[in-house]
Amino acid sequence: MLDELVISKAIIENFSKDFLDALDVDVAIAGAGPSGMTVAYYLAQKGVKTVIFERGLRPGGGMPGGGMMFNTIVVQEEAKEILDDFGIRNKEYSKGYFIADAVEATAALCLKAIQAGTKIFNLMSVEDVVIRDNDRVTGLVLNWSAVELARLHVDPLSMRAKVVIDATGHASEICHIVVDKLGGKLRTEDGRIMGERSMWAEVAEEKVKENTREVYPGLIVAGMAANAVFGTPRMGPIFGGMLLSGRQAAEVAQGILQKLKVSS
């Protein structure tokens, strides 16, 4: 006979344990879209303690919808090796263009990131950042997404991270908090968020890797958020740049962590 009390205790005890462990990490990522989960996978593989906070019910960002709800994704040849790293089945559509199932790709990114050691907390929103150590981002302020949606006056909780990654997509939410709420200056032309431009896949796919960098002490921007911050075009329904940006962000984060380790 099933015991409802045992079921409830199992959920609460294990979730609480996982959440307590996630309050002090090496890298905290806002957003479990394709770039966020790719970052997490490559970091966790290297033994970096990594956590993702996702506002929505399910991970994946815009990837499951493919292009206009046709759930096929396209990646360029440069990103095919990342599909292969995740075991995502793909085939060449025409020279230099590879296609994969959008739902399979999303599931594989999520599964591999978790199996590598990442913890993903869904239904949690980032509503603020923690600034310490001479204007450095050192953590995130969290609340339940349901609290945010209902506009309830419930105080949040905070967590600590050596590095924070903004992978929130077009909204570039963490960068907006730093600029709009704290008056911080990003490493852009005018110190502000420049805003994404109209779709131009060729330019956007190239620029997203270049734009993936530390934009404020302790804060890296990745994926579509990177193009939004630096004022370059959106890429539309091609996902190679998102994956490549995720891998690049992992390398940037590792470099920052190494510098912090040396300086300590």
Write out the chain's pLDDT in tens, 264 residues. Answer: 789 999 999 999 999 999 999 999 999 999 999 999 999 999 999 999 999 999 999 999 999 999 999 999 999 999 999 999 999 999 999 999 999 999 999 999 999 999 999 999 999 999 999 999 779 999 999 999 999 999 999 999 999 999 999 999 999 999 999 999 989 899 998 999 999 999 999 999 999 999 999 999 999 999 999 999 999 999 989 999 999 999 999 999 999 999 999 987
Query: Count of CB atoms within 10 A of residue 181's CB?
Result: 11
Residue 151 lies inside a defined structural domain of this protein = yes
What is the domain range of residue 46? 26-63+102-263
* Phi (first) and psi of residue 161, to 5 degrees: -145, 145
150: nearest Cα among 173, 120, 181, 125: 125
Contacts of residue 115, defined as CB under 8 A and 6 or more positions apart, other chains included, come to none
Q: What is the pTM of this model?
A: 0.96
Residue 37 lies inside a defined structural domain of this protein = yes
Q: How far apart are CA 207 and CA 235, in angstroms?
A: 10
Between the CA atoms of 123, 30, 11 and 118, what dihedral angle is there, to the nearest 10 degrees?
A: 150
Residue 135 lies inside a defined structural domain of this protein = yes
Residue 83 lies inside a defined structural domain of this protein = no
Q: How far apart are CA 30 and CA 171, in angstroms?
A: 12
Q: How far apart are CA 200 and CA 235, in angstroms?
A: 6
Contacts of residue 228, defined as CB under 8 A and 6 or more positions apart, other chains included, come to 170, 171, 172, 193, 194, 195, 196
Residue 5 lies inside a defined structural domain of this protein = no
Residue 197's domain is classified under what CATH number?
A: 3.50.50.60
User: Where are the extended beta strands (E) located within 8-123?
Assistant: 24-30, 50-54, 72-76, 91-94, 97-101, 119-122
Q: How far apart are CA 260 and CA 264, in angstroms?
A: 6
Q: How many domains does the chain have?
A: 1
**b/e per residue 5-34 (b: at least 16 CB within 10 A):** eeeeeeeeeeeeeebeebeebbbbbbbbbb
Residue 89 lies inside a defined structural domain of this protein = no
Q: How far apart are CA 140 and CA 180, in angstroms?
A: 16
Residue 127 lies inside a defined structural domain of this protein = yes
**Cα distance between the two ends of the chain:** 55
Residue 82 lies inside a defined structural domain of this protein = no
Q: How far apart are CA 237 and CA 202, in angstroms?
A: 12
